[in-house]
Amino acid sequence: MDIEIGPFSSGDEAEIIEISIRAWAPVFEELEPAVPNYVFKAFYPDGWAARQVSDIRKFLRDEGEKTFVAKAAGAIVGWVGLRLHPQDRMGEIYILAVDPGCQRKGVAACLMERAKCEMRRAGMRIVMVETGDDPGHAASRATYENAGFRRWPVARYFREL
């Protein structure tokens, strides 16, 4: 697959949202039963898709200059959004989505490589990415581990009040 990575433009928003929802639907189908219902409902009171659309729009509006899209044959097949943390000299792959029909074809690797180049250019020395530990995020974890990321052992606990 011939992939070109370029900057985000506002005309890309609808396609980015559509790809993201398709890419994340199977993940959220497995995530919902894996976490306590009260936690899922607290994070996604109107459903996960509504929250994701809102979060993506906000990110693109506020941080679109740190967003890059992958295109193949002129169509968007994935995207990545970065955040920089200069105080730690750390860049963060904050959000990443690849169209389900284009997964496992090197799109995520190309997007992560572009992200790392942008972070180096900004003077960052470390790159970080977070993902879930549930079964639905297994492919994401494999992608990051295959790209040389090392897992930081973190535990996050919730309980209902």
Cα 17 from Cα 70, distance rounded (Å):
14
Run means of pLDDT, 10 residues per run, the chain, 161 residues:
94 97 94 92 96 97 97 96 97 97 95 97 97 87 93 87 91
Residue 75 CB neighbour total at 10 angstroms: 11
Residue 18 lies in a domain: yes
Residue 151 lies in a domain: no
Beta strands in 12-133 (DSSP E): 67-72, 75-85, 90-98, 126-129
Q: Kindly report the CATH number assigned to the domain that includes residue 111.
A: 3.40.630.30
Residue 30 lies in a domain: yes
- Residue 134 is predicted with a pLDDT of 83
Residue 157 lies in a domain: no
- In which domain, by residue range, is 97 found? 4-146
Residue 153 lies in a domain: no
Angle at 116 between CA 71 and CA 57, to 5 degrees: 55
pTM confidence score: 0.92
- Residue 122 is predicted with a pLDDT of 97
Residue 62 lies in a domain: yes
Q: How many domains does the chain have?
A: 1
Residue 160 lies in a domain: no
